[in-house]
């Protein structure tokens, strides 16, 4: 509303103000837009009396304040002040501001459009196209995977099975398995909670706890499911886990399923571990309220390195983290009696919170176990999905495990023989052309990696596989190149894996 020039008090007359507006609207039209039509005179009279009272009040107001600027005329009565008009303006502005902005109405897709989209969509194929290297078939054994085995009708020396103590083919083991199969059948036909618990399982758990010196233990039915069921049971969302970057796939899967925060440190580098722990403790204020774990392996499957447990225990006590140790390749191998890494470093086993292991290596059986304090083990009996929702270990394998522990306790000289063989073999392999030893001198899992890498992961792997094939064909020695799955996040270099057995008679 723009007035051409200010109306004076004298001008104020509905009929006079016709000329005053710029935008062609007469004030009278504006004013009378909401008012009563002129015809009702009595109404206007009543109006006038009301308005006169109002105008008197406003006049008083004006006397006090005397606002400048234009005057408005309301209901034919000159009102001193533009307050009403400005109030109306403010109301109009507020009304417009509070209006929602215009949005085009949302229409859901029609059935025809959905049909069209469904027809047009083309999925990828289930698997990528097969390449040459995918067609590789591993050699097939015709006999037990002992120190000497038969492949394609020829007898070869077996450096590929993790049969460290040479228990494959042992008479006592064989007898106990046969007795168990005849008594219990082969499978256990049920999960542990529903009549799948056989007395052999309970005996085996007690035996493991007694052998290692821990309060309690729990038995899993498959080696790799141990780690990836135990970790999600103990760590939940919001917890902090510090893991070595070279841990094997089962642990990586367990870490992923636990949905905790995971921080990796450099492979077997204690300085990097210390720095990581320091950083986490400093950054996190609530750090004492969340559960914190360090996950390491005793002998790393991917590189053969040994974890320095004494340094780790010192760090753990300083920063109050719990240690989760995977002893798959070290149970029955390290230490004077084969009790694993803690015996090797002479550290009391109570300092390690959780020990897990797959029994598929030195103990020549299958399955896995997890030991620790009573609270840790009991929690897993209901909280670990690989234990609750899966059938239990076949009873003959559990009785084989008990017999293996008995044999180990009665014959500690097996371990000394193994250690001697390791030193012998490493001497012989110390200056091979093109390959260098990448693993710890005390580990029975020897890793040979290329001195000069060809640059690409795939080419390295191809070269190593060719070397392994050649050794099998010409020298009758069976070794394997370590394989990596596409899901594996570990970036350590591949190598040829040689496993040492205590019954090696000829080293060439």
Partner 1 sequence: MVTIPYLTAITTYFSYGIYFSLGQLRDLFRKIIDWRKPDDLQGYAPICLGLEDFYVRRLYLRIQDCFGRPIAGAPDAWFDVVERYTTDNFKTIKRTSKTTRCLNLGSYNYLGFAASDEYCTPRVIDSLKRFSASTCSARAAGGTTRLHTELEESVAKFVGKPAAIVFGMGYVTNSAILPVLIGKGGLIISDSLNHNSIVNGARGSGATIRVFLHNTPSHLEEVLREQIAEGQPRTHRPWKKIIVVVEGIYSMEGDICKLPEIIAVCKKYKAFAYLDEAHSIGAVGKTGRGVCELLGVDTADVDIMMGTFTKSFGSCGGYIAGSKELIQYLKYTCPTHLYATAVSPPCAQQIISAIKVILGEDGSSRGAQKVARIRENSNFFRSELQKMGFEVLGDYDSPVMPIMLYNPAKIPAFSRECLKQNVAVVTVAFPATPLLLARARICISASHTKEDLIKGLEVISDIGDLVGIKYFQAEPKKRQQEEGRVKLN
371 binds partner 1 (CB under 8 A): no
Residues 373-432 close enough to bind partner 1 by CB under 8 A:
375-376, 379, 381-382, 385-386, 388-391, 393-394, 396-397, 400
Residues 253-292 close enough to bind partner 1 by CB under 8 A:
253, 256-257, 288-292
The smaller minimum CB distance to partner 1, of residues 105 and 128, is found at 128
Tell how strand 477-478 and strand 154-158 pair up.
Answer: parallel
- Among residues 17, 79, 147, 158, the one that binds partner 1 under rule CB under 8 A: 158
- Among residues 31, 44, 88, 144, the one that binds partner 1 under rule CB under 8 A: 144
Q: Which residues of 387-400 are buried (b: 16+ CB within 10 A; e: fewer)?
A: beebebbbbbbbbb
Shortest spacing between CB 169 and partner 1, in angstroms: 6
Residues 12-71 close enough to bind partner 1 by CB under 8 A:
none
- Among residues 49, 134, 452, 456, the one that binds partner 1 under rule CB under 8 A: 134
177 binds partner 1 (CB under 8 A): yes
d(CA 374, CA 217) in angstroms, rounded, equals 8
190 binds partner 1 (CB under 8 A): yes
Distances (CA, A) of 76 to 11, 72, 333: 12, 10, 109
E runs forming strands in 276-399:
292-297, 322-326, 354-358, 368-372
d(CA 443, CA 332) in angstroms, rounded, equals 12
Question: Site size for partner 1, by CB under 8 A?
Answer: 112
Shortest spacing between CB 151 and partner 1, in angstroms: 9
Q: Of 18-26, 159-167, 412-420, 443-451, which part binds partner 1 (CB under 8 A)?
A: 159-167
- Among residues 449, 497, 502, 504, the one that binds partner 1 under rule CB under 8 A: 497
The smaller minimum CB distance to partner 1, of residues 3 and 319, is found at 319
H helix intervals, 102-150: 111-120
Count of CA atoms in the C-beta half-sphere (13 A) of 209: 17
The smaller minimum CB distance to partner 1, of residues 33 and 127, is found at 127
d(CA 250, CA 162) in angstroms, rounded, equals 18
Shortest spacing between CB 263 and partner 1, in angstroms: 17
Distances (CA, A) of 418 to 158, 166, 342, 363, 396: 15, 9, 19, 14, 27
Residues 71-110 close enough to bind partner 1 by CB under 8 A:
109
Residues 229-258 close enough to bind partner 1 by CB under 8 A:
234, 236, 248-250, 253, 256-257
Residues 444-483 close enough to bind partner 1 by CB under 8 A:
478, 480, 482-483
The smaller minimum CB distance to partner 1, of residues 11 and 488, is found at 488
Q: Which two tokens stand for residue 179?
A: 């007795």
Instruction: List, as one string, the DSSP characters of 164-182.
Output: TT--TT-HHHHHHHHHHHH
Shortest spacing between CB 379 and partner 1, in angstroms: 6
Shortest spacing between CB 221 and partner 1, in angstroms: 6
Residues 193-232 close enough to bind partner 1 by CB under 8 A:
193-199, 201-202, 221-225, 228
- Among residues 5, 22, 314, 320, the one that binds partner 1 under rule CB under 8 A: 320
The smaller minimum CB distance to partner 1, of residues 163 and 440, is found at 163
The smaller minimum CB distance to partner 1, of residues 388 and 438, is found at 388
d(CA 296, CA 306) in angstroms, rounded, equals 10
Q: What is the three-state SS of 32-71?
A: HCCCCCCCCHHHHHHHHHHHHHHHHHHHHHHHHHCCCCCC
d(CA 453, CA 170) in angstroms, rounded, equals 41
């Amino acid at each position: 509303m723009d007035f051409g020039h200010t109306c004076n008090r004298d001008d104020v007359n509905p009929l006079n103000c016709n000329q005053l507006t710029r935008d062609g609207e007469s004030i009278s039209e504006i004013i009378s837009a909401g008012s009563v039509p002129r015809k009702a005179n009595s109404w206007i009279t009543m109006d006038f009396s009301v308005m006169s009272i109002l105008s008197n009040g406003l006049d008083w107001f004006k006397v006090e304040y005397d606002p400048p600027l234009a005057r408005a005329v309301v209901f034919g009565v000159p009102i001193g002040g533009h307050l009403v008009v400005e109030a109306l303006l403010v109301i109009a502005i507020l009304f417009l501001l509070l209006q929602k902005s215009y949005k085009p109405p949302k229409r859901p897709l029609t059935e025809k459009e959905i049909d069209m989209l469904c027809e047009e969509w083309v999925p990828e194929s289930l698997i990528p196209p097969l390449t040459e290297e995918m067609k590789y078939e591993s050699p097939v054994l015709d006999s037990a995977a002992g120190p000497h085995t038969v492949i394609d009708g020829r007898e070869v020396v077996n450096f590929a099975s993790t049969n460290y103590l040479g228990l494959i083919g042992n008479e006592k083991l064989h007898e106990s398995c046969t007795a168990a199969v005849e008594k219990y059948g082969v499978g256990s036909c049920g999960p542990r909670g529903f009549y799948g618990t056989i007395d052999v399982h309970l005996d085996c758990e007690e035996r493991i706890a007694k052998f290692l010196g821990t309060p309690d233990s729990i038995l899993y039915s498959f080696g790799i499911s141990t780690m990836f069921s135990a970790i999600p049971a103990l760590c939940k969302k919001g917890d902090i886990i510090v893991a070595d970057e070279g841990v094997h796939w089962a642990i990586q899967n367990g870490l992923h399923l636990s949905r905790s925060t995971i921080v990796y440190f450099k492979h077997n580098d204690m300085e990097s571990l210390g720095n990581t722990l320091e950083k986490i403790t400093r950054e996190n204020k609530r750090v004492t309220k969340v559960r914190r774990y360090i996950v390491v392996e005793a002998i790393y499957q991917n590189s053969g390195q040994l974890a320095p447990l004494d340094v780790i225990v010192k760090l753990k006590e300083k920063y109050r983290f719990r240690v989760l140790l995977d002893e798959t390749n070290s149970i029955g191998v390290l230490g004077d009696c084969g009790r694993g890494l803690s015996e090797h470093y002479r550290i009391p086993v109570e300092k390690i919170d959780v020990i897990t292991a797959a029994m598929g290596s030195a103990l020549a059986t299958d399955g896995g176990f997890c030991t620790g304090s009573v609270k840790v083990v009991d929690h897993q009996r209901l909280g670990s999905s690989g234990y609750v929702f899966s059938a239990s270990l076949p009873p003959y394998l559990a009785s084989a495990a008990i017999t293996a522990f008995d044999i180990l306790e009665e014959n500690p000289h097996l371990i000394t023989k193994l250690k001697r063989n390791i030193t012998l073999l490493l001497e012989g392999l110390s200056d091979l052309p093109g390959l260098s030893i990448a693993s710890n001198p005390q580990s029975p899992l020897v890793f040979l990696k290329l001195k000069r890498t060809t640059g690409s992961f795939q080419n390295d792997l191809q070269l190593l596989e060719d070397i392994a094939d050649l050794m099998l064909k010409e020298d009758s020695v069976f070794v394997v190149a370590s394989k990596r799955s596409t899901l594996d996040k570990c970036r350590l270099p591949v190598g040829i894996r040689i496993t040492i057995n205590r019954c090696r008679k000829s080293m060439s």
